Amino acid sequence: MAKINFIGATLRLKYVAGHNAQNEPLFTTKTYRNLNSSHTAEDLVEVAKAIASLSSHALDSIVKQETTDLS
């Protein structure tokens, strides 16, 4: 049976920073590294929304990216 080892996780918050001449949205991303594997999705969404509330830009998306080692 395969073994999965957690290496790390990253949380990315994508914001709408404005619009171009064609009225298409321009995005900016903030990345938070070194997440613990014990955090639930609900915890991360709550924290992401709290962080986003401090920004003047509208939050577009929240992405969690995990890195694992398979052996």
Q: What is the pLDDT of residues 15-65, one digit of tens each?
A: 999 999 999 999 999 999 999 989 999 999 999 999 999 999 999 999 999
Q: Determine the 3-state secondary structure of 54 from DSSP.
A: coil
**The predicted structure's pLDDT at residue 69:** 95
Q: How far apart are CA 40 and CA 57, in angstroms?
A: 25
User: Which segments within 1-71 are labelled E, that is strand?
Assistant: 4-19, 25-32, 58-70
Contacts of 63 (CB under 8 A, 6+ apart): 11, 12, 14
Q: How far apart are CA 56 and CA 13, in angstroms?
A: 13
* Top-confidence residue, 1 or 31: 31
